[in-house]
Chain A
Amino acid sequence: MVSTGPQPSLKRRDSLVTREDDQLIITPLGAGNEVGRSCMYMSYKGKTVLFDCGIHPAYSGMAALPYFDEIDPSTIDVLLITHFHLDHAASLPYFLEKTTFKGRVFMTYPTKAIYKLLLTDYVKVSKVSVEDMLYNEQDINRSMDKIEVIDFHQTVEVNGIRFWCYTAGHVLGAAMFMVDIAGVRVLYTGDYSREEDRHLRAAETPQFSPDICIIESTYGVRQHQPQNVREKHFTDAIHSTISEGGRVLIPAFALGRAQELLLILDEYWSNHPEIQNIPIYYASPLAKRCLSVYETYIHSMNDRIRAQHAAKSNPFVFKYISPLKSIENFKDVGPSVVMASPGTLQSGLSRQLFDMWCSDRKNACVLPGYVVEGTLAKTIINEPKEVTLMNGLIAPLNMQVHYISFSAHADSAQTSAFLEELLPNNIILVHGEANEMGRLKQKLISQFADRNIKVFNPKNCQSIEMYFNSQKMAKTIGRLAEKTPEVGETVSGLLVKKGFTYQIMGPDDLHIFSQLSTANITQKITIPFGGAFSVLNHRLKQIYESVESSMDEESGVPTLRVHERVTVKQDSEKHISLHWTSDPISDMVSDSVVALVLNIGREIPKVVAESEAIKVEEENEKKVEKVIYALLVSLFGDVKFGENGKLVISVDGNVAELDKQTGDVESENEGLKERVRTAFQRIQNTVKPIPLSAA
């Protein structure tokens, strides 16, 4: 049980703590000044959100993970995954299964479906030792049960954190998450593209401007060529190579952009009958399995694809492209086009083909995506004279190398335009090489120079702290709000907080506006009492200021009402009963009544003369004064009796005068005045705890 009345002052937190409460922290655990292992930590008002959970493709084992040891996984409320790429989702099974994380995970439907396929494949093909394995297939399957799905625009609320997602372009199911904690909105774009392509929609512009925008900066200040120009380069390069009898290798990541390239190729072939005899192979066992996902989530794609779907032709059933299982099934006779994974040319089928074809001048290699630092794909962009094959031999690099980027990341122009529309107060750049990011930061700073917009590019584990002074607003409702109060009036009621919304209401209305209900506990206790009821009456009157006697209407037994709280009834000759409604004061009164009743049996009632009673009262008054004085001394030290019965309290040279009768305090120092007043009020509550009538 907790006491009623004003809250004790011990709980007053100093202003620093309050300020900490308003502090928002964002820390990149990965993808800070680098590309790969995206992972953003964000915390505000005791709520914690983690965005993405990727690995770094250039490292293996634990080294590829984001810096999870910087945080306590068990404190994270929500984990949001933007899309299925390894650098955004691949450490999820580890995080879910091998750490203390116990929050909730969300991703979109297509992402979840492809996530499983992709990671299962990743576990199979990654050739690391068993102890270096971060997780196995069982961990992935188990993680599937913990992942919840969210649809685009669907608002979900967890623990007071509200979030929803927007289409991000990039790949199927890619999302940008908007998180709203107590009115502060943070947008995390993940990877996004503002350009509509053959199958995906462009990233949407959110309806609301966020306070903070965490945005990718993969391409920094670079600008993409227009889509049609890139496509023309792409098809021209292929066309010219095959028309001269060469072979074309397109190393591409199995999912995501590959589908876009296939759509381009298939269309080009159907428009150019003269090359239709040249086969296109797509070597990815994954892709076939993912096809059903692409077919099912057609509604996440753009209108063009949906129109084709509506017209009953499946856009992902390609006419001129045939699947290729492995290099054994591949008959390398004459010109052909092969799209093979992985896009990095590090290992696998794409590397095998590269090794076969790289020394022939007629052949070509078209790199269609972003190439990660430290991979062979990155190396050959600079067109070295020689390359090292997988078997360790060195071969001349004679094949032509084309780098035509189709990776759906926003370029500088898109980023600027996007931010111009959003106008967030703070921009945090992530997911980009340090140099590119730095240039983009400079560009954005000059772009938004006249507006109060801050741009950050934190390194991994470098926290950005911001303060949001959120005004807490409450809505007073129900009977308490029948009249809007004037300044200076008091409002008393229940403050009910749910999530980050506050409501003030009368206790009677609690059940109407919330699921909570209030209760009344009525107590009835029977005590054996053989004495005369009038004796009891007399004794009670001696102790309590208010005792009313009356008759019970139903049973006709005499009753006494003490302090309008506790009713004493004479049930029979031998018993009396006490009735009251629970609250701390009534409980106390009843306890003392019980004690009195029990003592009557033992003691012979003392007869006290009237005069003595008055004397007692005077003595009481004196006692009260003494107590007040003693308590004040214990609190403030220097307390003196001043003129006309006032108490003079001096603390550190500040003087306050207290009028004991009215409780008025006069002092130059506001702080002292406040403290003395509060102290005096509490002392009075202690000395005279029971008000004459129930409130």
Chain B
Amino acid sequence: MGTSVQVSPLCGVYNENPLSYLVSIDSFNFLIDCGWNDHFDPTLLQPLSKVASTIDAVLVSHPDTLHLGALPYAMKQLGLNAPVYATEPVYRLGLLTMYEQFLSRKQISEFDLFTLDDIDSAFQAMTRLTYSQNHHLTGKGEGIVIAPHVAGHLLGGTMWKITKDGEDVIYAVDLNHRKERHLNGTVLASFVRPAVLITDAYNALNNQPYRRVEKENEFGETIKKTLGAGGNVLLPVDTVGRVLELILTLEQYWTDKSLNYPIFFLTYVASSTIDYVKSFLEWMSDSIAKSFEQNRENPFLLKHVRFCISKSELDNAPDGPKVVLASMASLEVGFSHDIFVEWATDAKNLVLFTERGQFASLARILQADPPPKAVKVTMSKRVPLVGDELIAYEEEQNRIKKEEALKATLIKEEESKASQSADINASDPMVIDVSKTLASPDVAGQHSAGYRDILIDGFVPPSTSVAPMFPFYENTFDWDDFGEVINPDDYVIKDEDMDQTGMHVGGNLDGKFDEGSANMILDTKPSKVVSNELTVHVKCSLIYMDFEGRSDGRSIKSILSQVAPLKLVLVHGSAEATEHLKQHCLKHVCPHVYAPHIEETIDVTSDLCAYKVQLSEKLMSNVLFKKLGDYEIAWVDAEVGKTDSGMLSLLPCSNAAPLHKSVLVGDLKMADFKQFLASKGVQVEFAGGALRCGEYVTIRKVGDASQKGGGSGLQQILIEGPLCEDYYNIRDYLYSQFFLL
């Protein structure tokens, strides 16, 4: 039987919540994606917390909060302890996303779900892979191969292919099949007939026609108009993902139209983002790679866009119309939130959404139709403590310090006592038990603890001690036949240090985000968060334009029917979208479509039977293959035998094989066939769903070939006509389209 595969969603089914799914392959548990949303609500992770400790590996697909946001928290609090696999950009940009989230949160609240250190340690566990790298798992997952493939949508975005015993499980969410400015389209369509495909229904109902040029023009026009009228434009964006495409679009538009309005890219990590992105060219589209190879032109050497990492930089900028790309896209927190509150009251301004806001976020509320006249927002600010508060804080801190110091000394005293008493417990206090001292470093440690207290507190013999002693240990030497045993390491000349010192520069993860923001958040200056609620009257114009970079519903459907998985699992998407896509796929893609609910485990083990046989040389020498595209096929009749090693092998038949029903192999496309016939001088035309060839003969194709998995997969072709020469000629042409086996 095939490999057992179970899928159990932990979050993000029948809604647009973050993504997180448990996929077990022969009881090896993959956690695919580990997302959270901008609200950071721990209850969303409830299902994850139950299984976190059983996870064997984590696969991350995109560098945004929805796909990896919960990673630091899960590692720290939920007992998730497994290797994480991602592409290099997902690692880098994911790290920046998390920094940004943390810094934005910390600015307005006492955020304590995770710290920067937690983010660092969570990401340190990541193994970085490149696209189409077949990574063979070892240990428990022996035999499983994982490979990331291009997904589009975000830089480094990954579609995971997990293979075991020749059966593919593909996880592909947030795809974009179209080439964009900076990204290539997904390669999903090149995978054919995987055993299981897990995909999202997020865009199943979104059937916006796609016209990049017009859309980008409209985008530019809209912004230009607002700027021309003296208004400002705010684009709430994600930290590192789609914003890259927007930046390139704006750069291009500004260059084409020679505009001078300033563009600001404002996130806590803006300049790091661009720095990293500059060195990720090999992950971007072919055209970018090509222009770099040819002319060494890096499109992310930006001419018009300026990066800011604090709002003061923006405030210091000269007045006048400007475009600001600011995080977060949800408008819940971050710079975009503050700027929105500031600008919303001016009718000249424009807030241009480029992606659908997260569920229940401010952005989503504003995207409603018609947009709300006024919204309630909470303005929070971190202010340094002053006056009485500061004094109170300091007193509090001092008190805590004192307490800690007191505790520490108490512990130390306890320890020293313990160590002393340990000595006393030895049978004879005067005999120094060398072996014991040397054998256990713990004991030595206690001794030194004892030392320190002696130095601090003066020489006060514990009341329990029998005889006061100076701590003393003898250096013993091991001897063997050749004399004293030496450790060769002691004699190695340590000149390697010379390059060591030179080679290790800087810590690994520190100092990666911009220093300005770091100072602001991480300084030890006591501060507090002040919040006040206010109502903002939304007067500015609100526009939504789709720059999400996801395939639309129609394309998804056509890709799915092309991929034609044996089993399909649908996740992530509103209930309606999921149901819609499910019904569609049941009809047109394959008979096994699942849309599990949270914590519902579905078994998508393929009911495929298989066994391996060896093809004997004798048999193969008699087989004549026929080439058909990538395939070569032949009919074999063989007798089963056994090899010396007990493998089943196929030998030529000793008796004549019974005649088998002949098989016609080939895919007849009526339109192509029509062309073919026309080229042979036969008059052809389509009439009433049939192909009329010559005067009398008609060819008809019965049954739907597009319904690959669902139907019998057999094309029924009907050729009809009176007895005449044409009939036989046309039949011969028809036969020539097939291989007979």
Listed in ascending order, the chain A residues whose CB lies under 8 Å from chain B are 1-2, 4-7, 9, 11-13, 18, 109, 112-113, 116, 141, 144, 149, 151-156, 164, 198, 207, 226-229, 231-232, 267, 271, 289, 292-293, 295-299, 303-304, 307-312, 471-479, 481-482, 484-499, 501-502, 504, 507-508, 510-528, 582-585, 594, 677, 681, 684-685, 691, 694-695
B611, A512: Cβ atoms closer than 8 Å: no
The reply on B166 being an interface residue by CB < 8 A is yes
The answer, among B502, B613, B657, for a CB contact under 8 Å with A490, is B657
B664, A485: Cβ atoms closer than 8 Å: no
B625, A518: Cβ atoms closer than 8 Å: no
B633, A512: Cβ atoms closer than 8 Å: no
Distance between Cα atoms of A112 and B281 in the complex (Å): 13
B740, A307: Cβ atoms closer than 8 Å: no
Chain B residues whose C-beta falls within 8 Å of the C-beta of A11 in the assembled complex = 621-622, 624
Could you tell me the distance in whole angstroms from the C-beta of B141 to the nearest C-beta in chain A?
14
A517, B723: Cβ atoms closer than 8 Å: no
B650, A491: Cβ atoms closer than 8 Å: yes
Known: A512-B193, A519-B714. A494 touches B293 (CB 8 A): no
B282, A297: Cβ atoms closer than 8 Å: yes
Chain B residues whose C-beta falls within 8 Å of the C-beta of A113 in the assembled complex = 292-293, 296
Q: Convert B131-143 into 0s and 1s, putting 1 for each residue whose CB lies closer than 8 angstroms to a CB of A.
A: 1111110000000
The reply on B709 being an interface residue by CB < 8 A is yes
Chain B residues whose C-beta falls within 8 Å of the C-beta of A513 in the assembled complex = 193
B640, A489: Cβ atoms closer than 8 Å: yes
Work out how many contacts link A and B, with CB atoms closer than 8 A: 330
Q: Convert B255-288 into 0s and 1s, putting 1 for each residue whose CB lies closer than 8 angstroms to a CB of A.
A: 0000000000000000010010011111000000
B665, A487: Cβ atoms closer than 8 Å: no
A154, B133: Cβ atoms closer than 8 Å: yes
Listed in ascending order, the chain B residues whose CB lies under 8 Å from chain A are 88, 129-136, 147, 166, 192-193, 272, 275, 278-282, 289, 292-294, 296, 298, 495-496, 498-499, 502-509, 511-512, 566, 608-615, 617, 620-625, 628-642, 648, 650, 653-668, 705, 708-709, 712-723, 727, 731, 734-735, 738-741
| Residue of A304, A478, A582 contacting most chain B CB atoms (<10 Å) | A582
- 23 A-B pairs within 8 Å (CB atoms) are namely A1-B740, A4-B662, A13-B621, A207-B136, A231-B499, A289-B296, A311-B512, A473-B615, A484-B648, A488-B639, A491-B636, A492-B638, A492-B658, A502-B615, A508-B714, A512-B709, A516-B631, A516-B633, A516-B667, A522-B717, A524-B720, A527-B723, A582-B735
Distance between Cα atoms of A582 and B741 in the complex (Å): 12
Distance between Cα atoms of A490 and B272 in the complex (Å): 66
Distance between Cα atoms of A208 and B136 in the complex (Å): 10
Known: A6-B656, A293-B296, A524-B718. A517 touches B610 (CB 8 A): no
The answer, among B278, B650, B717, for a CB contact under 8 Å with A519, is B717
- Which residue from chain A places its CB closest to the CB of B610 in the assembled complex? A477
Chain B residues whose C-beta falls within 8 Å of the C-beta of A510 in the assembled complex = 663, 665, 713
Could you tell me the distance in whole angstroms from the C-beta of A169 to the nearest C-beta in chain B?
16
The answer, among B289, B664, B713, for a CB contact under 8 Å with A511, is B713
Could you tell me the distance in whole angstroms from the C-beta of A351 to the nearest C-beta in chain B?
29
Could you tell me the distance in whole angstroms from the C-beta of B399 to the nearest C-beta in chain A?
38
Could you tell me the distance in whole angstroms from the C-beta of B727 to the nearest C-beta in chain A?
6
Chain A residues whose C-beta falls within 8 Å of the C-beta of B294 in the assembled complex = 116, 141, 144
**Across the A-B interface, the 7 shortest Cβ-Cβ residue pairs:** A511-B713, A153-B133, A583-B662, A519-B715, A681-B656, A472-B615, A481-B609
Chain A residues whose C-beta falls within 8 Å of the C-beta of B502 in the assembled complex = 267, 271
Chain B residues whose C-beta falls within 8 Å of the C-beta of A6 in the assembled complex = 637, 653, 656-657
Distance between Cα atoms of A335 and B298 in the complex (Å): 39
The answer, among B275, B621, B631, B719, for a CB contact under 8 Å with A12, is B621
Could you tell me the distance in whole angstroms from the C-beta of B711 to the nearest C-beta in chain A?
9
Distance between Cα atoms of A199 and B272 in the complex (Å): 21
A526, B741: Cβ atoms closer than 8 Å: no
The answer, among A144, A309, A492, A582, for a CB contact under 8 Å with B657, is A492
* With A11-B621, A307-B507 already in contact, 12 other A-B pairs whose C-beta atoms are closer than 8 Å: A113-B296, A153-B129, A164-B133, A310-B508, A472-B615, A473-B614, A488-B639, A494-B741, A504-B636, A519-B717, A522-B717, A523-B718
Distance between Cα atoms of A498 and B630 in the complex (Å): 6
A486, B660: Cβ atoms closer than 8 Å: no
Chain A residues whose C-beta falls within 8 Å of the C-beta of B621 in the assembled complex = 11-13, 18
Chain A residues whose C-beta falls within 8 Å of the C-beta of B659 in the assembled complex = 4-5, 585, 691, 695
Distance between Cα atoms of A228 and B504 in the complex (Å): 15
Distance between Cα atoms of A9 and B656 in the complex (Å): 13
Chain B residues whose C-beta falls within 8 Å of the C-beta of A585 in the assembled complex = 659
Chain A residues whose C-beta falls within 8 Å of the C-beta of B668 in the assembled complex = 519
- Which residue from chain A places its CB closest to the CB of B132 in the assembled complex? A154
- Which residue from chain A places its CB closest to the CB of B639 in the assembled complex? A490
Main secondary structure of the interface of B (DSSP, over half): mixed
A492, B512: Cβ atoms closer than 8 Å: no
Known: A582-B735, A694-B661. A485 touches B715 (CB 8 A): no
Chain A residues whose C-beta falls within 8 Å of the C-beta of B136 in the assembled complex = 207
B715, A489: Cβ atoms closer than 8 Å: no
Chain B residues whose C-beta falls within 8 Å of the C-beta of A491 in the assembled complex = 613, 636-640, 650
Chain A residues whose C-beta falls within 8 Å of the C-beta of B666 in the assembled complex = 516-519
Distance between Cα atoms of A116 and B609 in the complex (Å): 52
A296, B132: Cβ atoms closer than 8 Å: no
B612, A292: Cβ atoms closer than 8 Å: no
Could you tell me the distance in whole angstroms from the C-beta of A374 to the nearest C-beta in chain B?
33
B289, A109: Cβ atoms closer than 8 Å: yes
The answer, among A474, A507, A584, for a CB contact under 8 Å with B650, is A474
- Which residue from chain B places its CB closest to the CB of A147 in the assembled complex? B293
The answer, among A144, A474, A481, A524, for a CB contact under 8 Å with B615, is A474
Chain A residues whose C-beta falls within 8 Å of the C-beta of B281 in the assembled complex = 109, 296
Could you tell me the distance in whole angstroms from the C-beta of B161 to the nearest C-beta in chain A?
11
- Which residue from chain A places its CB closest to the CB of B510 in the assembled complex? A311
A485, B648: Cβ atoms closer than 8 Å: yes
Known: A295-B279, A311-B505. A228 touches B498 (CB 8 A): yes
B298, A155: Cβ atoms closer than 8 Å: no
Known: A7-B624, A267-B502, A511-B708. A490 touches B638 (CB 8 A): yes
Could you tell me the distance in whole angstroms from the C-beta of B530 to the nearest C-beta in chain A?
33
Could you tell me the distance in whole angstroms from the C-beta of B64 to the nearest C-beta in chain A?
21
The answer, among B135, B640, B656, B731, for a CB contact under 8 Å with A685, is B656
Known: A154-B133, A472-B620. A517 touches B715 (CB 8 A): yes
The answer, among A307, A508, A516, A677, for a CB contact under 8 Å with B665, is A516
- Which residue from chain A places its CB closest to the CB of B616 in the assembled complex? A472
A486, B640: Cβ atoms closer than 8 Å: yes
B663, A507: Cβ atoms closer than 8 Å: yes
Chain B residues whose C-beta falls within 8 Å of the C-beta of A501 in the assembled complex = 166
Distance between Cα atoms of A631 and B714 in the complex (Å): 41
Distance between Cα atoms of A11 and B618 in the complex (Å): 12
Distance between Cα atoms of A527 and B696 in the complex (Å): 13
Chain B residues whose C-beta falls within 8 Å of the C-beta of A9 in the assembled complex = 622
The answer, among B498, B614, B658, B740, for a CB contact under 8 Å with A695, is B658
Distance between Cα atoms of A232 and B656 in the complex (Å): 80
B640, A525: Cβ atoms closer than 8 Å: no
B723, A594: Cβ atoms closer than 8 Å: yes
Known: A5-B659, A497-B631. A525 touches B740 (CB 8 A): no
B715, A495: Cβ atoms closer than 8 Å: no
The answer, among A471, A482, A695, for a CB contact under 8 Å with B661, is A695
Distance between Cα atoms of A505 and B720 in the complex (Å): 32
Could you tell me the distance in whole angstroms from the C-beta of B302 to the nearest C-beta in chain A?
15
Chain B residues whose C-beta falls within 8 Å of the C-beta of A496 in the assembled complex = 631-633
Distance between Cα atoms of A72 and B100 in the complex (Å): 58
